[in-house]
Amino acid sequence: PATPRVPFHCSECGKSFRYRSDLRRHFARHTALKPHACPRCGKGFKHSFNLANHLRSHTGERPYRCSACPKGFRDSTGLLHHQ
């Protein structure tokens, strides 16, 4: 028997679908889990604070500064690991 063609692939998880409508319905699950989308690259996040941290990767902003040296970090976790 011939293998059915599945030309539509989810960019989030790689799952394949025979029909575009099935892919759209499936993809909605991903966006529902990650409702905060980056306006620059489209990457989704579950929490708004994760989006805020991610946006700094586009802007280069590093607001968390080390008190012992001039190094800066996008988030507090990076600073904590540095110290």
Q: Name the residue ranges covered by the structural domains of the chain.
A: 36-82
Going by C-beta distance under 8 Å and a sequence separation of 6 or more, which residues neighbour residue 37? 31, 43, 44, 45, 51
* Total length of the chain: 83
Q: Of 75, 57, 55, 56, whose CA–CA distance to 65 is shortest? A: 75
Q: What is the DSSP letter of 11?
A: T
Homologous superfamily of domain range 36-82: Classic Zinc Finger (3.30.160.60)
Residue reference for tokens 């805020």 = 52
Question: Model pTM?
Answer: 0.55
pLDDT score for 3:
65
Percent of residues, the chain, with pLDDT higher than 70: 95
pLDDT score for 31:
75
Give 9-47 pLDDT, tens digit per residue.
988 888 999 999 999 888 888 877 888 889 999 888 889
